[in-house]
């Protein structure tokens, strides 16, 4: 499994995917040597307390470009969440953790919603959440800060039927549109009358 993951990761070369430089065993312990990233995850970076809410769509767009590269190479990440997207030197968001939790910053079950910084299911047990999502096909409720078009995107991305799920190319286009709209609405720039 370790060798398969290393071989796969070595093939990925994209500005929004953590670069792997090497992989080895030290005794029985597998190690990956990869690009330096801060301890800052996308989830933490976009925490409302950090005051970076205006950057959220741009940062999510960077992550989407990394995901598109994976999909273009027929790779399914399988555990994509804000805590598996790291900020690197220069400020780029990069997808990480291709099977091993090398960069884990939270204990299992403490996932947060990337954009809002709050747990999407409150204080519900992680096992109960997984059951609700996979067996009962439930989603968390819409955060009050989400506009209708923003939540529509989330719902289309989380569609249970893969044939009905929105593709990453369309997600990128929508994120670009949302980012531009957000920039215009929150900008001090005004057109002349």
Within a domain: residue 107? yes
Structural domains in the chain (count):
1
Q: How far is CA 9 from CA 75, 92, 99, 180, in A?
A: 10, 18, 10, 33
Cα angle for residues 97, 159, 46 (degrees, 5° grid): 45
CATH number of the domain residue 123 falls in:
1.10.510.10
Within a domain: residue 6? no
Within a domain: residue 179? yes
Within a domain: residue 74? yes
Within a domain: residue 142? yes
Within a domain: residue 173? yes
Question: pLDDT tens, position by position, for the chain (193 residues)?
Answer: 788 778 878 888 999 999 999 999 999 999 889 898 887 888 888 777 776 666 788 888 999 999 999 888 888 787 788 888 998 878 889 998 876 322 223 333 334 344 434 444 445 566 666 666 667 777 777 878 778 888 888 888 888 888 888 999 999 999 988 877 776 666 544 444 4
Query: Residue 116's domain spans which residues?
Result: 37-185
Cα–Cα dist 85/94, whole Å: 5
161 labelled catalytic: no
User: How many CB atoms are closer than 10 A to CB 91?
Assistant: 12
**If you compute the radius of gyration of the chain from its CA atoms, what whole number of angstroms results?**
18
Selected catalytic residue, list 7, 47, 72, 79: 79
**All residues at 6 or more sequence positions from 118 whose CB lies less than 8 Å from its CB, including other chains:** 112, 143
Within a domain: residue 49? yes
Within a domain: residue 30? no
| Predicted model pTM | 0.73
Q: Quick one: which of 12, 60, 56 has its CA closest to 168?
A: 60
- Where do runs of H (alpha helix) occur along 18-125? 42-45, 56-72
């Amino acid at each position: 499994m370790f060798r398969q993951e290393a071989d796969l990761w070595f093939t990925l070369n994209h500005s929004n995917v953590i670069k792997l430089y090497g992989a080895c065993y030290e005794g029985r312990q597998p190690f990956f040597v990869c690009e330096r990233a801060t301890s800052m995850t996308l989830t933490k970076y976009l925490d409302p307390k950090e005051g970076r809410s205006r950057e959220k769509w741009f940062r999510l767009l960077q992550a989407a470009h990394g995901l598109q590269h994976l999909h273009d190479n027929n790779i399914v990440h399988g555990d994509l969440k804000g805590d598996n997207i790291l900020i690197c030197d220069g400020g780029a968001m990069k997808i990480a953790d291709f099977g091993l939790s090398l960069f884990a910053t939270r204990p299992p079950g403490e996932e947060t919603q990337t954009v809002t910084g709050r747990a999407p299911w409150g204080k519900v047990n992680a096992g109960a959440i997984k059951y609700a999502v996979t067996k009962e096909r439930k989603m968390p409720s819409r955060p009050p800060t989400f506009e209708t078009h923003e939540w529509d995107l989330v719902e289309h991305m989380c569609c249970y039927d893969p044939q009905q799920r929105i593709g990453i190319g369309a997600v990128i286009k929508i994120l670009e549109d949302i980012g531009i709209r957000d920039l215009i609405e929150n900008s001090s720039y005004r057109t002349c009358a």
